[in-house]
Amino acid sequence: MTVSNETRVQLDRFVRQLYVERMSGKKKIRKAMMLGVGLDSDGHKRLTTGPNFALVGGSRETHEQMTEKTIKINEKLKARGKQLETVSHEEFDDIAQEVGLKKIEPKQSRRG
């Protein structure tokens, strides 16, 4: 998958902003963002962004599903009077399950 120059510029600005804030000694501003990556493709390049999300790639169907889930998550956050930056991990997991996302636990390492 290739990333457009516009996407690179947006990400570069975001990284620079975080760096400047970090180096300036200002109080840490908590930021959060949902990132959706569609791993299937139908040959089209898709990018959808919002104030707290970026969705990249995927077939038309996959990209539409990611967009729908993201919108529903934001609606549920708003209904609870929360923002992505202020919701706990547990509450986010609950909201994600409510919109139909399933949490996949990492596989256990075979080291021993």
Domain-located, residue 109: no
Pairing mode, if any, of strands 53-57 and 47-50? Answer: antiparallel
Answer whether residue 79 is part of any domain.
Answer: yes
Q: Rounded distance, CA 48 to CA 64, Å?
A: 10
Identify whether 59 is part of a domain: yes
Average pLDDT on 83-95 reads 93
Question: Is residue 63 in a domain?
Answer: yes
pLDDT value at 77 more than 70: yes
Q: What is the pTM of this model?
A: 0.69
Number of domains forming the structure of the chain: 1
Domain assignment of residue 77, yes or no: yes
Contact 74, 52 (CB under 8 A): yes
**CB neighbour list of residue 49: distance below 8 Å, 6 or more residues apart:** 10, 55
**Domain extent for 77:** 30-98
Residue 97 has pLDDT above 80, yes or no: yes
Please, what is the average pLDDT of the chain? 86
Determine, yes or no, domain membership for 46.
yes
Rounded average pLDDT over 8-35: 74
End-to-end CA, the chain: 37
Q: Are 31 and 17 in contact (CB under 8 A)?
A: no
Quote the pLDDT of residue 56.
94
13 domain residue, yes or no: no
